[in-house]
Structure 1
Amino acid sequence: MYIEAFTSSATKNIVLYSDDYSIWIEETTKSLTLDELMSIIGPCYPRTINIKALQPENNFNVLKATAVPISVNVTDSCGNVIDSASVHVAFENGDTTLLLPHVNEGVYNGTWVPWNVGHCNVTITAIPPSWQTLEPESVIINGTIDML
């Protein structure tokens, strides 16, 4: 979201603001305080992506060749859900990278079947859609894969 305020030669303020989908322009004959401006556009400017691993949790312990649900929640720094990100899950142990589909309200789910035993770091990366100004973000969870 970008916010700019201009004063025209007719002493009118022009406020431009965007929600990354549309742009609105409003003209007003009075000066706007910061509080008034924030009441128009909202109090938060998203700056980062937040990824919360729901499943598996950090320090997981799973069995080889057993289906493991993977679930993550993706929001921006204002708490708004991001439902059109590209969410990739990479496994340090050499298992195949997964692309998680969006399910609902910023939640992305998939299933991992681990084949390589031992310690494993799992890197979850969320890449925002190209029309958003946010940078990709990653989190790492770790755990162990044991033999059956």
Structure 2
Amino acid sequence: MPTREQLRTNVGLATELRFSVMRLRRRLVRERHPDNDLSLPSMAVLWALHRLGDLTIGALASREQVRPPSMTRTVNCLADAGLVERQPHPTDGRQVVVRLTEEGRAVVHADATRRDRWLSRRLEELTPAERDVLRQAAPILQRIAAAD
């Protein structure tokens, strides 16, 4: 069982990490491609399809923690923009599978390229030791983000 001092230390670290990660996220949001006027939830759907491949509306809704009707509206907007397409589910006629189009891939690529360039420039300003710390921290932060 952790001591009171350990708990205070963990709470302090949690506060620092939350603040830092939130600020970095806001900064990366500002670095979006200037031609990209999609909402953040719409971009999250494109990124999910890019990383995970074709998904059902239900799987997207679950992943993004929204209700299926909300995800249906988002997917409809993305489909109207030509960024995703709906396909019949191969085994369940009640469902559709959402697939990223080439235009959708281009949007994701442009967004990633711009943000990665900005972050790469910031990383160049760090010492090799600081970059090593971040290299070690990245999978840990990924694991924390994926936890329930």
TM bucket normalised to smaller: under 0.3
Structure with the bigger percentage of strand: 1
| TM-score (normalizing by structure 2) | 0.23
